[in-house]
């Protein structure tokens, strides 16, 4: 059986506590250990905070979409925003072990990935999704 939970929220930090609670409970219901649940919750919370801080430059009147799915027995979280796209020239790839947030998440078996999609629902900015899935 599949599962899909969708949040469409304003880009205001006061709503992050609601998402943290839902993600933490979803991870526990899915059977992740407490430590992994906390790591996953931190990763999703940090991704949302980064959208607010960087893509929306702290504006609280924008929209963020968070999709939580169970796909083939795995938890998958996708964040979509229409904020300012990152400059691809400034994004330098690093091994997961060299990125502090990803290292913490990787210890819990949860590598994090950032994916930039071509424009769709956004006017002039590419659609950005942050994807975080449990490892194999």
pLDDT digits (tens, 9 = 90+) for 64-103: 999 999 888 888 888 888 888 777 777 665 555 444 333 3
pLDDT at 38: 92
Domain ranges of the chain: 3-132
Residue 107: pLDDT band (50, 70, 90) is: very low
Nearest alpha carbon to residue 127 among 48, 64, 73: 64
Model confidence at 109, pLDDT cuts 50, 70, 90, reads very low
Average pLDDT over residues 103-131: 41
In this predicted structure, what is the pLDDT of residue 21? Answer: 97
Quote the radius of gyration of the chain (alpha carbons, Å): 15
Quick one: which of 70, 89, 93, 84 has its CA closest to 1? 70
Average pLDDT value for the chain: 74
Burial 41-59, CB ≥16 within 10 A → b, else e: bbbbbbbbebbbeebbeee
CATH architecture, domain defined by 3-132: 2-Layer Sandwich (3.30)
CA 80 to chain CA centroid, Å, is 9
Reported confidence tier of residue 29, pLDDT bands at 50, 70, 90: very high
Provide the residue count of the chain: 136
**Is the pTM above the cut of 0.95?**
no
Q: Where are the alpha helices (DSSP H) in the chain?
A: 16-29, 34-50, 100-107
């Amino acid at each position: 059986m599949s599962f899909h939970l969708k949040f469409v929220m304003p880009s205001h930090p006061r709503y992050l506590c609601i998402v943290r609670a839902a993600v933490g409970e979803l991870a526990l219901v899915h059977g992740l250990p407490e430590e992994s649940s906390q790591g996953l919750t931190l990763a999703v919370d940090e991704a949302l905070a980064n959208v607010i801080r960087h893509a929306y430059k702290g504006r609280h009147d924008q929209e963020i979409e968070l999709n939580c799915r169970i796909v083939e027995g795995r938890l998958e979280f996708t964040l979509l925003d229409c904020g300012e796209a990152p400059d691809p020239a400034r994004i330098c790839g690093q091994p997961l072990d060299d990125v502090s947030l990803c290292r913490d998440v990787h210890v819990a078996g949860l590598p994090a990935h950032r994916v930039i999609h071509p424009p769709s629902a956004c006017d002039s900015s590419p659609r950005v999704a942050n994807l975080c899935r449990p490892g194999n």
